[in-house]
Structure 1
Amino acid sequence: MLFGLITARKALRLGSAMLVMACLIVAMPASAQDKPSLKGVALIVGQSKYEHIAGLPNPANDAREMLKLLTDLGFDARAVSDRDASKLSRDLERFVEDAEGADVALFYYSGHGIEAAGENWLVPVDADVGSLSNANEALVPISAVLDQLKSTVPVTIVLLDACRTNPFPADTVLRKTPTGSGAAVGQEGLTLVRGAKSLNAPTEATENLGTVIGFAAEPGRPALDGPAGENSPYASALLRHLGAMNGAEFGAVMRMVTEEVYLDTKAQQRPWVNESLRRLLYFGSAPEEPGGDEGQITGERRQLLLTISELPDISRASIETVAARDAVPLDALYGVLKALGTTNMPEEPAELESLLDAQAERLKKMISEREALRTDDPEILRLTASADRAIREGAIQTARSFLDQAVGRVEETRGAVDDAEELVRQKRIADAAVYARRAETSALAFDYKAAAEDYLKAFDLIERWDDRLRWNYKNLQAEYLHIHGDETGDQEALDASLKAYEEVLAFIEGDSAELDRAITRNNMAVVMQTIGERSVDPGQLEQAAAIFHESLAVFAARKDDLNWAAAQNNIGNILLKLGERSNDKRFFEDAVTALRATLEKRPRDKVPLDWAGSQNNLGLALYQLSEREGGAERLFEAETAYRAALEVYDRAKNPLEWAMVQNNLGNTLNAIGTARNDSGKFQAAATAFRSALEINKREQFPISWARNRLNLGNVLNNLARFEVGTTELEEAAQAYNDALEVFTRNRFPSDWASVQNNLGSVLQTLGQRNRDLKQLEESASAFRTARRVYTRQRFPLDWAMLHFNLGNTLQIMGAVSGEPLRYKEAVDAYRDSLREYRRENTPRQWALSQAAIGSSLHWISNSETDTKSLEDAIAARRAALEVLTKANDPVDWANAQSGLGMSLLNLGSRQQVATYLPEAEKAFAASLEVFTREQQPLQWAFGQNNIGDLYWNKAALGGEKSDYAKAIEMFELAKAGFTEGGYTAPIPLTDQKISLARDAMTK
């Protein structure tokens, strides 16, 4: 089952469709040893002042800036703006002529463009709706120009910043000529055309060395024009990064451009590129690259852009979700991820989002506290300002470098301010803030240990000068020691965190500091909880729970409902952990109380998602409590809680939370089905698990997928009770084996042990139905294997469960092999389970173990001459029935009643007395109150057979001949039930009993 809440969003990949190539475009002069520089010509068109359709403020600016850039790169470049149809056509004709004899031809267009009739069209500034009725004359097609260039120029580069929305009415059509057929106009501007000729169609020119086609946005999406008076996002990216071509692979440069636009537009736009080049190109002198701080930031940002281009869609979706949800810059969050390293990224989106959420909080804090940094040192001001910009641009390591320099400057000047007390105080506060800023930047790079060290240095600087900052820096040092210790398992760091919190408490004084003291002690309790979860000693967990309880009074007095509810939630989590380690159901009772109290402070109308999360966690606590109490009442309460959560969690808006609750609901429905022998609940549980699997695909969510497969196997195993064959059992076994591909012992020991246990159970049922000792041996081996993890010390109840399940397999092996030794081994296993299953703490499990002991002793008695084992079997079954009731556990109650009747019948037969027959008959009749002919024909048939045996014995012990007639009647009913249930093996024996009873009646 799942205990956490996770969030994820789906996103489509909007990446560049680049081909792998071996091409460098080097923007530098060719040396004497180099190949000569290639001749390049360029035409730049910027269309802003449209006369009849929506104008575009920036293309003219784009054209001017691109002209300068391409000229600096060595192109013979020409720029034109605001061209009507005739001028634009002549411009392109002249460009084709100028390109003859050149090595590279580059065409850049910024303005409106549309796609229709299998062609991409540039829109002149004099175009209007009427232009669409004679497009060949009023618009300018691209493909003809491109074909001419490709036939005469070895390398053609076309960059189209024209993927804006269609400027014409949505229902208009385009005709190439006034008499031609009409075609719909695409609504998203230029794209790879759907018609006869693609922009990147192969050329017949034998000397063609490749073509680059670049669109400002991916097909089907519009491009943005950018703020008026500036450049479009696409042009801005080209201007910033084409200068990187001195040594950078061309494909890498275009990926930089792609991801620059993606970040600049906050994920609204990603350019699309198709290129294939087969030659090193040299474009003459490179434009001057930025130097100083700007150059360092740009250098790291380019590496960041290349890193982003390699990220999978699911990671992009997680980052975009966190950035939007926490209102932090997308660039900075990607920089955080780069600092972590893609190889260290969590595989599960939920884990990635959780990690990024913590870093996003640090980013928000840094941004909000930027003004708090005060210094009169201009060099420190410059360095910290550059660090702020570097962080916003995702250049985290560069930011750390600037702050390293700032800290160096601080350390150089520390001794110069000791003369004046006030100056010293101000200097210490300012210097401490620099250390604090570097600490937060280190944390963004996931170096929590370095962050803690810098906060300690900040604390040392401020300790004498500012009480509030002293508390804050020491508190933050403790927090980062905790995070470092939690993530690395460094116990020394966790101990140091507790010590730091104790120091904080030592200098929090006065009644007004009550809230600070409560918050600090709560933080200490969180560290204790972390330590306690790693230890078998519950002491730390208990101490943490006590602290959380103390804080409730403070939060209640201040009417701080959110913090109060959070403390209650922490209490509930600790109680669940303590309950899992003990047999004391009171922990789960208290967890239920804590979570219900949490719900009172989390109203659905104000915090619906928090309310739904608390409903889910309440369901988990009720589910666990039901295992300790017996009966189905708590399970029905858990079902209600899960269904309440599903009223808020929407499959489309909250897919992962919705799937998580479906999984937990399935577990509860499965347990209800077991308690009530209700196939309908099992079917509903299977539906819930399959619904969860529709979201939790193995490729995206392997862990959740494996848990869902495990749980589906559980319910299929239970549904197999209602079939004679093995179809559902085999599907269950496959589900368990699927789960084991993810849940390995090294990575997921507890889950691995759980699957081994369940696989043992399904092999047990398969071995019983197939009468296959090999499958039964495999079942026993699976239970014994799981005990490597489920030890009695760490998992007492799971350890007991494994012994109980092993006993069941050994008992079946005894029935299949006929070896009494197996039954004796089964009794030993059941009695081992009773070392942890106690009537006062786990009544249902205790009763089931007693009933199982009674069953094994019953079969052992068949190989013994005395009746001691049979009498012990009756005592064990009677003990079980003191706990099991028809209302709470109908199936187990009915099985125990049937077993008690059989043992009583055998004891009377062995002693040749009718004393036990009335109680036996009453027990058989009770079992048939649950095992009905309609729902369970096989169990009903065995019940009729048992009553037939009882009447036979009654007649044989001096009863009436009518008792034989009653026995025959029961045997005939049993025969019919075996036939209806598809189990024909007992029928020959039943026919023989009927024949013997008839013979006895005639004597």
Structure 2
Amino acid sequence: MGLLKTPNHHLSARAWLTVFVTGLLCLVATLANGAENLKGVALIVGQSAYEHIATLPNPANDARDMAKMLTDLGFDARSVTDRDAAKLKRDLKRFVEDAEGADVAFIYYSGHGIEAGGENYLVPVDADMSSLKDADNALVPISAVMEELRKTVPVTIMLLDACRTNPFPPDAELRRAPTASASPIGTGGLEPVRGAKALGSAPAVAENLGTVVGFAAEPGRPALDGAAGENSPYAAALLRHLAAMKGTEFGSVMRMVTEEVYLDTKARQRPWVNESLRRLLYFGVAPPEPAGDDGLITGERRQLLLTIADLPDPKRSQVELASQQDGVPLDALYGVLRALGTEKIPEDPTDLEKLLDAQAERLKKMLSERDALSTDDPEIKRLVASADKAIGQGAIVTAHKFLDEAVRRVEQTRGAVDQAEELVRQKRLADAAIYARRADASALVFDYSAAASDYGKAFSLVEKWDDKLRWNYKNQEAEALNAHGDAIGDRKALEQAIDAYQVILGFIPNGQQNRDWAITRNNMAVVLQTIGERETDTARLDEAARIFRDSLVVFEREKDDLNWAAAQNNLANVLLKIGERESDPKRLNEAVAAMRATLEKRPRDKVPLDWAASQNNLGLALYALSEREPGGERLVDAEAAYRLALQEYTREKAPVQWAMVENNLGNTLVSLGTQRNDQAKITEAAAAFRAALEIRTRETFPVSWATSRLNLGNALSSAARFDLGTGELEEAATAYGDALTVFTRKRFPMDWASTQNNLGSVYQTLGQRARDPARLEQSVAAFRAARRIYTRRAFPLDWAMTAYNLGNTLQLLGGLSDKPEHYKDAVTAYRDALREYKRETTPRQWALAQAGLGSALHWLSMAKGDTTSLAESVAARRAALEVLTLEAAPVDWANAQNGIGMSLLNLGTLERSGKYLDEAEAAFQATLKVFTRDSQPLQWAFAQNNLGDVHWNRASQGGGDAEYLKAIEFFENAKEGFVEAGYTIPIPLTDKKIELVKQQLAKK
């Protein structure tokens, strides 16, 4: 057996590097709009034997091989090596003269080169430190040569295999002439000039068709010289692929060259080009191409290179990291993606990571087992060897064809095996290995169904001959069935995978509960979890959790920390999935504990990326748990976990994972900022979402883009509470609308419902601020749309949430429409929410629903003149304050205090009694601990107005002149607050109150 399988439910497991993608340049011998042969001249320079600075072993080799290739392609080519300044300038001058009248002028230079002061210089072999004091004479400027060639040659091409590191001391400076000012030398050798005088910028003659200048590496990056005695990676790629120009446009071939260098250097080097050609260019005559098996491999290899050139940087980064961490060839992993088809590559980075992990594991297995494959058939040996070579070159489809032929050969020879039992056994094992080999190749091209079939045939061949192999092949059949079922949602295949694991369990003697038993059952539980997540009940998820716990007992007994940590991670994931569906937070608490236990076995210094993944997963569980608790402690812990994960998942080395954690952090910051009335937290959250969206573009990651747009809308909606305008709310509505273009009800029902709910909340606030019943009707429609998915049976807490939100909108609609039935419907909605929100399990949500119920009852009582409803309103709001404290939820606490004051004040008015005024005043005064004039002038103004009403009531009941004066003072404060907040609607009513109080005082 081996390591157990871990389902990919966590959002983070790898880091990827971002690589710059660019094109290259090429030779030309025929123009696209004419078949006439063209005259081409070439100068090839190789500088190896430097006298005073670092020597380079390979430029002479590069020059020799390039000269031969260009001559074969029909160029009049001249090669020179190890030239001092005088000779190199003379060579270039002669070449400019010889190029006059030619159609194409080509220069290839391999050696040292530097850039300073906006000019690129070729470095002669006699250069030393003194050369830098008079560079235009002692070195060889490039721009002048290019300008001369552009005047007389239609197409000029210069390939510079010289982007090596600066051969002079780091602090050295260059002067173009002895009296000229000094300029620092670039650290990366030659590079494109960013000043006013770029290479080839001189005015061209009318017939000029353009210029191409190519560098062996990106700007500021060194090019590799290659192993001594060989070619540089750049020269090797040119030599291999320029022959492909026969009938192929130069841009495509040079993309092959670019990606060949990228693969050959394991992503450390990528060429760069600056071209201004105004015609498509092709080769006319090409050297012979490889034939036979090599020809098939080379053909697919070239198509693979073009596929890589078009792959977005974030996906390339994931492939690079998978190759590095799993120790499989970068070429082969890219070949796997090409076999899948670029249109089918998962957009979600987690799904792509899962795919790459599975295929990298198969590649490792194939590579590790190839030496053990033995056969006495020479044709099969040839086909298997060619398949191995094809896989190494990333030609996965071609490898599969070779193995198809090998299997046909196996099937043709099976009839002659039964001569002796030992020969039969050897033949069966050899034949099974061929089926398994083809199964591996089928899995690499994502034909999991065919892979499962071949693994099953391999199992049937070895079942009675080899216990270890029968276990291995049946296990691989189970994995292939699981992959097939998971990829296309085939429930039958998933059930067959479980059956296959049951067969494996039957191999364990006497039903021993040993390590193999634990690994097999754990892997079976992974399949059960996949099924369970697609079902409305949790029976399969519960079964998976039980199996993971059983596995932990065995791994702890066996002291197998690696498998123990993987099983613990699996257990944490399944507990989180179960807990998200339940009102009781028990499972979420268990998930947090399990994830903390996983971290103890995944130390940062030994497995930093696994450690970061577990920190992120811990943050997810803490965030989910925070929704079931009144305080913000869990949110603080979740924020800390995400920030720890970001210490390893940086934007530079893991951009996709960095964006994912930034997104998760943003959600936590929104919740913290909302609970604590902390505008800075919400502003930081919006910045986190916007940063994530720089990586999660719609073109590259549409689902992740929609998720972050949805979350940005949440942040903007929360931020709007600090600004009475509608700009942020409108932007939030736009963000939600963007998310709904991806989250359709059919494809993403849960995300669609979540977005509809949030859109309803934005319409609610817009309707409230603009006093627009139409917006409130839109809000009601959005909440009711969400409830089509959020049913009470399947999603009780989400159902309760939409009921609470619907109640808020209906209450506002009642106020604008003056229709008491809306208040009645709001009361019903809040009571629906309280059918699922319980103080014991969801205290904060329960308290908010109680406060909302109290508000709706208040306004219903005012419409009906009913003191009973007012008393119920006060009781509901006081219940809310048992949970909503000033420290944990200041805004919600203040709103509930204000509501109590309003109900008490109105209760006294209806009963014609002053006995509630002191309590009402205390409640309104309490709100001022949160609603200050500086931070929230509108709420402060309403509190001042309410205090004015209290003192007016006291004055009217014989309280004396002082109460009238206090009432006037508070009403004037309220008016000033409304003006400062820009909320003019209540000002006329406030003026009228002031006038009435003054009239009553005057009468006294």
TM-score when scaled to structure 1? 0.88
Q: Which runs of 5+ in 2 are unaligned?
A: 1-8
Deviation at 1:578, TM superposition (A): 1.7
Query: What is residue 29 of structure 1 aligned with on the other side?
Result: none
Report which stretch shifted further, 778-787 or 216-225: 216-225
User: Compared with structure 1, are the counterparts of its residues 585 and 935 closer, same or farther at alpha carbon in structure 2 (3 Å cutoff)?
Assistant: same
User: Which residue number corresponds to residue 31 of structure 1?
Assistant: none
Give distance in 2, aligned partners of 1:212 and 1:928. Answer: 71
1:803 aligns with 2:803: yes
Q: How is 1:161-560 mapped onto 2 (pairs within 5 angstroms)?
A: 161-170=161-170, 188-191=188-191, 200-201=200-201, 213-273=213-273, 274=275, 276=277, 278=279, 286-349=286-349, 351-510=351-510, 514-560=514-560
Q: CA offsets, 1:582-633, max 9 Å, x none?
A: 3222222222232233233334454444344333333332332232243444
Separation in 2 of the partners of 1:42 and 1:342? Answer: 39
Shift in alpha-carbon separation, 1:954–1:56, aligned structure 2, 3 A: closer
Deviation string 1:220-263 (CA, Å, 9 cap, x unpaired) is 44332221122222332232223323333333333322322222
- Whether contact under 8 Å (1:964, 1:997) holds in the other structure is no
Relative to structure 1, the CA distance from residue 805 to residue 158 in structure 2 (aligned partners, 3 Å threshold; closer, same or farther) is closer
Matches within 5 A, 1:950-965: 950=950, 961-962=958-959, 965=962
CA apart distance, 1:998? 6.8
Contact 1:8 1:353 in 2 (8 A): no
1:802 aligned partner, one-letter code: T
Cα distance in 2 for partners of 1:687, 1:158 equals 45
Go from structure 1 to structure 2 and tell me whether the alpha carbon gap of 1:71 and 1:793 turns closer, same or farther (over 3 Å shift).
same
Aligned residue identity for 1:823: Y
Tell me, which stretches of 5 or more residues in structure 1 are unaligned?
Answer: 27-33
Q: CA deviation at 1:580?
A: 2.2
Q: Distance in 2 between matches of 1:854 and 1:596?
A: 41
Q: Offset of 1:738 from its aligned partner?
A: 4.6
Deviation, 1:197, is 6.8
Distance 1:605 1:144, change over 3 A: closer
**CA 1:970–1:142 in 2, change beyond 3 Å: closer, same or farther?**
closer
Alpha-carbon shift at residue 929 of structure 1 (Å)? 5.9
User: Quick one: which amino acid aligns to residue 277 of structure 2?
Assistant: S
Give, as a single letter, the amino acid of the residue that structure 1 aligns with 2:969: E
**In the TM superposition, what is the alpha-carbon distance from 1:669 to its structure 2 partner?**
3.9
* Cα distance change of structure 1 residues 833 and 23 upon mapping to structure 2, 3 Å threshold: farther
Contact kept, 8 Å, 1:951 with 1:963, in 2: the verdict is: no
Q: Identity percentage over the alignment?
A: 65
Structure 1, 875-884 or 554-563: larger mean CA deviation: 875-884
8 Å contact 1:760–1:782 — kept in the other structure?
yes
Say which is worse superposed, 667-676 or 822-831, in terms of deviation.
667-676
Look up the match of 1:976.
973
Q: d(CA) in 2 for partners of 1:115 and 1:911? A: 90
Contact 2:24–2:254 (Cα < 8 Å) also in 1: no
Tell me how far apart the structure 2 counterparts of residues 205 and 216 of structure 1 sit (CA, whole Å).
28
SS at match of 2:520: helix
Q: Between 252-261 and 694-703, report the one with greater CA deviation.
A: 694-703
Which range is displaced more, 349-358 or 300-309?
A: 349-358
What secondary structure is seen at the aligned counterpart in 2 of 1:369? Answer: helix
Structure 1 partner of 2:587: 587
1:299 maps to amino acid: G
C-alpha separation between the residues in 2 aligned to 1:82 and 1:683? 61
Aligned CA distance change for structure 1 residues 661 and 202 (closer, same or farther; 3 Å): closer
Higher mean displacement: 94-103 or 446-455 = 94-103
The AA in structure 1 aligned to 2:599 is: L
Does residue 570 (structure 1) correspond to residue 577 (structure 2)? The answer is no
Q: Helix, strand or coil: the match of 2:627?
A: helix
Q: Distance in 1 between matches of 2:657 and 2:949?
A: 55
CA contact (8 A) 2:975 2:987 kept: yes
Counterpart amino acid of 1:304? L
Alignment: residue pair count? 991
* Secondary structure class of the residue paired with 2:277: strand
Cα deviation, 1:519-541, whole Å, max 9, x if unaligned, reads 11111111111111111121111
Structure 1 CA distance, aligned partners of 2:175 and 2:719?
A: 65
Matching residue of 1:621: 621
Q: 1:120 offset after TM fit, Å?
A: 5.3
1:113-132 C-alpha deviation (Å, 9 max, x unpaired):
45567665554545544555
TM-score by length of 2: 0.88
Q: Distance in 1 between matches of 2:959 and 2:944?
A: 17
Taking the aligned partners of 2:984 and 2:205, their CA distance within structure 1 comes to 80
Q: Is the 8 A contact 2:720 2:726 kept in 1?
A: yes
Say if 2:501 and 2:520, in contact at 8 Å, map to a contact too.
yes
Match for 1:11: what amino acid? Answer: T
Q: Which moved more, 1:52-61 or 1:192-201?
A: 192-201
> Partner letter of residue 630 of structure 2?
G
Q: Give the whole-Å Cα distance in 2 for the aligned partners of 1:844 and 1:113.
A: 68
In 2, the alpha carbon distance for the partners of 1:39 and 1:653 equals 48
Q: In 1, Cα distance between the equivalents of 2:180 and 2:636?
A: 70
Structure 2 Cα separation of the partners of residues 253 and 243 of structure 1: 9
2:23 maps to 16
- The whole-number CA distance in structure 2 between the counterparts of 1:329 and 1:735 is 41
Higher relative contact order (CA 8 A, sep 6+): 2
1:357 partner amino acid = D
* Structure 1 segment 83-98 matched on structure 2, within 5 A: 83-84=83-84
**Superimposed CA distance per residue, residues 568-588 of structure 1 (whole angstroms, 9 cap, x where no aligned partner):** 222222222222223222222
Deviation at 1:393, TM superposition (A): 1.0
The worse-fitting range, judged by mean Cα deviation, of 777-786 and 269-278 is 269-278
CA contact (8 A) 2:249 2:282 kept: no
Change (3 A) 1:252 1:739: closer
In the TM superposition, residue 564 of structure 1 has moved relative to its aligned partner by 1.9
Q: Deviations over 1:757-789 (max 9, x none)?
A: 222222222222222212222222222222233
> Which amino acid in structure 2 is aligned with residue 841 of structure 1?
T
1:501 Cα deviation (Å)?
Answer: 1.2
For 1:164, what is the secondary structure of its paired residue?
Answer: coil
* Contact 1:24 1:248 survives alignment (8 Å): no
**Offset at residue 290 of structure 1 (A):** 1.8
Is residue 23–residue 278 contact of structure 1 (8 Å, CA) maintained in 2? no
CA contact (8 A) 2:18 2:655 kept: no
Q: Aligned equivalents of 1:241 and 1:894: distance in 2?
A: 73
The 3 A distance-change label for structure 1 pair 820 and 648 is: same
**What CA distance in whole angstroms lies between the structure 1 residues aligned with 2:502 and 2:398?**
35
Question: Retained in 2: the 8 A contact 1:827–1:857?
Answer: yes
Deviates more, 1:347-356 or 1:391-400: 347-356
**Contact 1:213–1:275 at 8 Å: present in 2 too?**
no
Residue type of the alignment partner of 1:972? E
Supply the distance in 2 between the matched residues of 1:118 and 1:682 (Cα, whole angstroms). Answer: 46
Letter of the 2:55 counterpart: G
- Most deviating of 481-490 and 584-593: 584-593
Secondary structure of 2:485's counterpart equals: helix
Hey, what's the Cα distance between the residues in 1 that align with 2:858 and 2:748? 40
By how many angstroms is 1:484 displaced?
1.6
> Take 1:625 and 1:162, find their aligned partners in 2: how far apart are those partners?
58
Q: Which residue of 2 aligns with 1:827?
A: 827
Distance in 2 (CA, whole Å) between partners of 1:809 and 1:263 is 58
Please state how far the C-alpha of 1:557 moved relative to its aligned partner.
0.8
Residue identity matched to 2:525: A
CA distance in 2, matches of 1:234, 1:494: 48
Contact 1:407 1:435 in 2 (8 A): yes
1:30-62: per-residue Cα shift (whole Å, max 9, x none)? xxxx96755555554444334444333223333
The 1:967/1:649 distance shift into structure 2, 3 A limit, reads farther
